[in-house]
Structure 1
Amino acid sequence: MQYELPLIEGTLIKRYKRFLADIRLQDGSEITVHCPNTGSMKRCAEPGSKVWISDSANPKRKYRYTWEWVEVDGKYRICVNTSRPNQIIGEALEARAIEGLTDHDSLQREPKVEDGRLDFCLMFEDGRRCWIEVKSVTLLEEDNGLGCFPDAVTDRGRKHLLRLQALKEEGDRAVLLFCVPHEGIREVTVAEHIDPRYAEALRAVVASGVEVMAAEVSFADDDSGLEVCGVLPVVL
């Protein structure tokens, strides 16, 4: 995934009202930007952090700029824009760049299911299907490489797990795919201390045959984009 325009560096002043953040640019000016992340952003929204924002180049938009990345612990870049993981994973699936998800004949985005939509469906000429739900992992609570999901209680996430389980029971393949746009995460686990009901549901659906995978994301050295660069272990 490549950005159309170079990202702009700044410093986070504060995030507020969920969708807004005040940023101080390198020239000392201050602007309000759109924060495309409805989650808790635990450890990702500390005032004084280095951030990167994108420019829509649309002066008519209420908030022209969008918060994309943040640096934590003075060394790890994280993509906090929750619209990016599906873009990154979609491109990787099309390029057959995710180990274990490479032999499909076609790809459907946001396929309809009984009670809503999932993120992707891989389809095969013989009629087989592989359903995929993508979740972004951005929480590293300690500098030990172990990333956690979720970073807040998520009833919606639990609903997605149950839908994957139902599709698996109908005979399809079902995958929960963690997208990890965090340079400090080396493996992924479930945040049982944050949402024990989600953790219980995840272990139950895995026992029923739902697969859990994690895709590692790399950041371009020139800050121009993001791409899947491998897979990471998931520890449940």
Structure 2
Amino acid sequence: MNFDSPLYRASLIERYATVLADVCLENGEAVTAYCSNTTRMKTLAVPGAEVFLSFNRKEGRRLLYTWETVSANGTLVGVNETRRYDITAEGIANGVLSELAGYREIRRVLPSRGGSTVDMVLIPQDDRFPVCRVAIVTAYLKQGVDLLFPDGIYVWNRKVLEELDAALDAGERAVLIVLAQRIDCIGVRADWTADAQYVTSLKEFCDKGLEILCYGCTVSSQGIWASARLPFMF
């Protein structure tokens, strides 16, 4: 997934109200950027961190900048969660996510109040085979060489599991993609201390047929691309 235009370098002043971040541009101007990330970003939203912003002058838009990536210990990390669909869809189309290859069509499921929590539905070539419902979640908290998932209690994560479980009950294929917009990790570990109830349900649904696919990404100033399959460990 390529960025639409060059990114602007800035220094993080403060992230607050979850979706807002004050930053200082290279020219010394302080601006507020949109932070499209609902996770805690414990080790990423550090004052003084080098961040990179996209710019959009779309009519009616209040905040012109969006926080896209951050440099963490020399590694670029993508923080814009809304990019997860495009990264995944491109990875499926170009064969990187080979486990999801061979489907006739990728249908995007747009978010809506009270609507579906999955991100895409894959339509098989042959109608005799089941559709595949795919939900994409993100992992950011790094510990050692692994990422921890989840990094807290999120109602949305539990709703996602409920819908994927319903898909399994309906005879459909259900896949949870854990996307890491970074390349400096070798695996993803379930964090029982963050939300034991969620992880317990996740393990039960895996025993029932839920598939977990974890992928790391190559991140640069030009874009973000799914590039490496990572193991998931309970």
TM-score, normalization by structure 1: 0.91
CA shift at 1:59, angstroms? 7.1
Separation (CA, whole Å) in 1 of partners of 2:29 and 2:110:
43
Q: Cα deviation per residue 1:51-109 (whole Å; 9 max; x = unaligned)?
A: 0010113475211001111122x212211111011111022223333121111111111
Q: Which amino acid aligns with 2:153?
A: V
Q: How does 1:160-179 map to 2 (within 5 A)?
A: 160-179=160-179
Separation (CA, whole Å) in 1 of partners of 2:176 and 2:79:
20
**Which ranges in structure 2 are unaligned for 5 or more consecutive residues?**
none
Aligned to 1:197: 197
Matched, 1:94 2:93: yes
Separation (CA, whole Å) in 2 of partners of 1:169 and 1:58:
43
Aligned to 2:34: 34
Separation (CA, whole Å) in 2 of partners of 1:14 and 1:25:
13
Aligned to 2:45: 45
Q: How does 1:1-236 map to 2 (within 5 A)?
A: 1-58=1-58, 61-72=61-72, 74-110=73-109, 116-127=116-127, 128-140=130-142, 142=143, 144-220=144-220, 223-236=221-234
Q: Cα deviation per residue 1:137-179 (whole Å; 9 max; x = unaligned)?
A: 1111x3x221012222012211211221221122211111111
Separation (CA, whole Å) in 2 of partners of 1:124 and 1:65:
39
Q: Which amino acid aligns with 1:75?
A: G
Task: Say whether the 8 Å CA contact 2:175–2:211 is kept in structure 1.
Answer: yes
**1:86 aligns to what SS in structure 2?**
helix
Q: Which runs of 4+ in 1 moved over 6 A?
A: none
CA RMSD of superposed structures (Å) = 1.9
TM-score, normalization by structure 2: 0.92
Q: Percent identical across equivalent pairs?
A: 27
Separation (CA, whole Å) in 2 of partners of 1:67 and 1:44:
12
Separation (CA, whole Å) in 1 of partners of 2:102 and 2:86:
20
CA shift at 1:126, angstroms? 2.0
Q: Which amino acid aligns with 1:139?
A: L
Separation (CA, whole Å) in 2 of partners of 1:214 and 1:4:
26
Task: Say whether the 8 Å CA contact 1:99–1:230 is kept in structure 2.
Answer: no
Task: Say whether the 8 Å CA contact 2:104–2:123 is kept in structure 1.
Answer: yes
Q: Cα deviation per residue 1:21-70 (whole Å; 9 max; x = unaligned)?
A: 11111222211111111222221201111100101134752110011111
Separation (CA, whole Å) in 2 of partners of 1:227 and 1:130:
22
**1:116 aligns to what SS in structure 2?**
coil
Task: Say whether the 8 Å CA contact 1:106–1:124 is kept in structure 2.
Answer: yes
